[in-house]
Amino acid sequence: MSVMLAIARHEWSRLFVSPLAWMLLAITQLLTGLLFALSLTDLSLNPQRIGEYDGVSELVGAGLFRFATVVLLLVVPLLTMRAFAEERKSGNLELMLAAPVSPFALVLGKFAGTMGYLTVMWALIGLMPLSLLTSTPLDVGLLAAGLLGLWLVMAAFTAVGVFISALTREPTLAAIGTLGALLLLWLIYALSTMDWQPVVLGTTLPLADAAEALSLIGHHDALLRGIFASADLLYFVIFTACFLALAAVRIDMERH
């Protein structure tokens, strides 16, 4: 446990002494901040649009969180490529493999360190809609569900990234691979919106339902609409745990 925390702390402090992490934080803030300002401007110019949504919280909050997910798609691969691929390339992974650390503690430590950084990013994004509390009543429950969803999406993306990072010794390859995998998760959601019901051997395959159940974005969408279901929560927990376990298995195979 203490070793896991040591690795998490190490990962976190290394992120904050690297220009990459600060640059990513700055660009994410710039992009999400611009979108936040734009949606507020849009709202003040066309106040009648509020009727189509569940108030300001959904129009501004959920819109912002959806956009943040897209930004994360690009940010997370750049962070997780450092976790194992870069360490392997620099030879520093040997340091941890020769230390009395189990592969699980190693993977969890790396994951926790990266999540610590992303949580800072998450808090900064969350503060934007919450700042409206000073001027208008907000549906805090809706925002909380959306924020929880955003954090869970971060964790799931990071788990995928850590796993792919554990597969290779080229950081760029890890980044591209993670980006591809995350976009693929996105595509599965697109499948669920298609009206396509293939019939195989006389039975209609529930393709759309299956795609929605599997897709990360589908589960996130429910949370963005303010629906807090334990099924969605469990989906994210299982998804994240699976990829972290796969990463640990891969690191254990490192010696062979």
44 binds another protein (CB under 8 A): no
Amino acid at 119: T
Residue closer to another protein, measured from CB, 92 or 136: 92
Site stretch for another protein (CB under 8 A), options 3-11, 57-65, 110-118, 238-246: 3-11
Task: Give the three-class secondary structure for 13.
Answer: helix
Say how many Å lie between the first and final Cα of the chain, rounded.
26
- The contact pattern for another protein, residues 63-92, with x = CB under 8 A and - = no contact, is ---------------------------xxx
Containing 203, the helix (H) or strand (E) segment is strand 203-204
Residue from 97, 138, 214, 249 that binds another protein (CB under 8 A)?
97
Distance CA 140, CA 149 (A): 14
- The CB density around residue 102, as the number of other CB atoms within 10 Å, is 13
200 binds another protein (CB under 8 A): no
Q: What is the token pair recorded at 102? A: 């189990």
Of 236-255, binders to another protein (CB under 8 A) are: 254-255
Residue from 26, 95, 187, 238 that binds another protein (CB under 8 A)?
95
99 binds another protein (CB under 8 A): yes
102 binds another protein (CB under 8 A): yes
Q: What is the token pair recorded at 27? A: 């660009």
Distance CA 251, CA 43 (A): 50
# of chain residues touching another protein (CB under 8 A): 26
Task: Give the three-class secondary structure for 93.
Answer: helix
172 binds another protein (CB under 8 A): no
96 binds another protein (CB under 8 A): yes
21 binds another protein (CB under 8 A): no
With beta carbons less than 8 A apart as the criterion, state whether 53 and 224 touch: no
Site stretch for another protein (CB under 8 A), options 5-13, 124-132, 210-218, 226-234: 5-13
Q: What is the token pair recorded at 11? A: 């990962």
Distance CA 135, CA 158 (A): 35
20 binds another protein (CB under 8 A): no
- Binding footprint of another protein on the chain (CB under 8 A): 2-3, 6-7, 9-10, 13-14, 17-18, 90-102, 254-256
